[in-house]
């Protein structure tokens, strides 16, 4: 799916999201990878292959810290992560001491986000009679109490995701100073959000548009958001990926197109998943 206007077909929206994630990684960062987040993994690797060669990864699959990388894979992710681990952790250590002290940067994918950056990964609808029970929040309710490096991404920006009021709060947004103190929360809230339409922050406790993606109108972003957005004073177009970034993504980092799964749903997603798994079985 190419983007319209001048940049037609030079990059896809997945590749733009990956590039935005990549640009948030600085060279000395420790980046945490959750599960089922190929856009994020691709973004981290892209950063390592371009501006952040010293990047280190804390990975859930395999439970280790590593500075090596391999092309995105479903069946082989664990063995790739465990091939040359720098450190193997238990979750007693990770949740009990390590995450608080090493404070990795992590991108989370929320099901719902409210104006001040609280988010939900637990349930849609009433908690006791849910419309849809979601997998759960992993460590999000923990990390958002202390981490200064919480980042968000939403592959499909819609009014169902960006809502005035969450069905359930499982990740903490930008709180008033007094409330933070009362709740012993150290985290300043999410620092950054990228969607398929633009990039945002929560400066001043309200979701704010920083940049609109090429070919996307600001009015459309507002229309797809269930509450009024603040606008950054230097609102601009999101810089597109370079030709090199696109080439690295397609040929080196994710030749199977696993990143595309995060934008698909239903039958199309299942068909793509099956195609990827069949190609993996053939040795790709």
Partner 1 sequence: MSDKVVTLSEAVGLVEPGDTIALGGMTLYRRPVAFARELIRSRVKDLTLLALTAGYESDLLVGAGSVRRVRTCYFGLEIFGLAPMFTKKARDLEIIEETEVSLALGLRAALSGIGFQPARAWQGTDLLKVRPDVKTISCPYTGERYVAFPAIKPDVAVIHVQESDCQGTAILKGNLALDREMALAAKQTIITTERLVEEVEGQIATFPSRVDAVVLAPKGAYPTSCYPYYRLASQEVLDYVDACSRGEFEEYLARFLDGGEVGER
The whole-angstrom separation of Cα 88 and Cα 55 is 17
> Is there binding between residue 188 and partner 1 (CB under 8 A)?
no
Phi, psi of 274 (to 5 degrees): -65, -40
Least CB distance to partner 1 at residue 27 (A) = 27
Give strand ranges (E) for the chain.
Answer: 30-33, 56-59, 64-66, 87-88, 105-108, 112-113, 119-120, 123-126, 129-133, 150-154, 192-195, 198-201, 208-212, 230-237
Three-state SS for 62?
A: coil
The whole-angstrom separation of Cα 34 and Cα 44 is 12
> Is there binding between residue 138 and partner 1 (CB under 8 A)?
yes
Least CB distance to partner 1 at residue 161 (A) = 17
Least CB distance to partner 1 at residue 272 (A) = 11
* Binding residue for partner 1, selected from 176, 182, 244, 252, defined by CB under 8 A: 182
Radius of gyration of the chain (CA): 18
> Is there binding between residue 145 and partner 1 (CB under 8 A)?
yes
> Is there binding between residue 28 and partner 1 (CB under 8 A)?
no
The whole-angstrom separation of Cα 143 and Cα 162 is 21
> Is there binding between residue 127 and partner 1 (CB under 8 A)?
yes
**Subset of residues 200 to 239 that bind partner 1, contact rule: CB under 8 A:** none
Which is nearest to 98 in space by CA: 110, 107, 86, 109?
A: 86
Nearer to partner 1, 179 or 244 (CB): 179
Nearer to partner 1, 233 or 283 (CB): 283
Q: Are 66 and 30 a contacting pair, CB within 8 Å?
A: no
> Is there binding between residue 45 and partner 1 (CB under 8 A)?
no
Nearer to partner 1, 4 or 127 (CB): 127
Number of residues that bind partner 1 (CB under 8 A): 66
Per CB under 8 A, residues contacting partner 1 are 35-36, 38, 60-64, 74-79, 82, 85, 88-92, 94-96, 100, 118, 122, 127, 129-130, 132-142, 144-146, 168-172, 175, 179, 182-186, 258, 261, 269-270, 273-274, 277-278, 280-281
């Amino acid at each position: 799916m190419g983007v319209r206007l001048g940049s037609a077909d030079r990059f896809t929206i997945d590749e733009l999201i990956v590039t935005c994630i990549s640009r948030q990684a600085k060279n000395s960062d420790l980046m945490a990878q959750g599960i089922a987040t190929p856009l994020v993994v691709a973004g981290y690797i892209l950063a390592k292959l371009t501006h952040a060669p010293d990047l280190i990864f804390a990975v859930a699959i395999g439970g280790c810290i590593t500075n090596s990388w391999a092309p995105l894979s479903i069946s082989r992710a664990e063995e790739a992560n465990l091939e040359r681990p720098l450190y193997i952790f238990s979750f007693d250590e990770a949740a009990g001491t390590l995450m608080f002290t090493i404070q990795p940067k992590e991108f989370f994918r929320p099901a719902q986000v409210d104006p001040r950056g609280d988010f939900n990964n637990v349930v849609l609808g009433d908690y006791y009679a849910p419309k849809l029970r979601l997998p759960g929040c992993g460590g999000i309710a923990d990390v958002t109490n202390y981490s200064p490096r919480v980042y968000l991404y939403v592959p499909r920006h819609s009014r169902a995701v960006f809502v005035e009021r969450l069905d359930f709060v499982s990740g903490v947004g930008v709180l008033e100073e007094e409330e933070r103190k009362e709740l012993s929360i150290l985290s300043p809230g999410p620092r950054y959000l990228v969607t398929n339409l633009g990039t945002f922050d929560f400066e001043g406790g309200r979701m704010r548009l920083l940049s609109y993606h090429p070919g996307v109108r600001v009015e459309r972003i507002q229309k797809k958001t269930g509450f009024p957005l603040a606008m950054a004073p230097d609102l601009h177009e999101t810089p597109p990926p370079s030709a090199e970034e696109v080439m690295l993504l397609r040929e080196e980092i994710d030749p199977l197109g696993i990143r595309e799964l995060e934008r698909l749903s239903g039958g199309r997603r299942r068909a793509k998943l099956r195609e990827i798994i069949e190609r993996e079985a053939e040795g790709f």
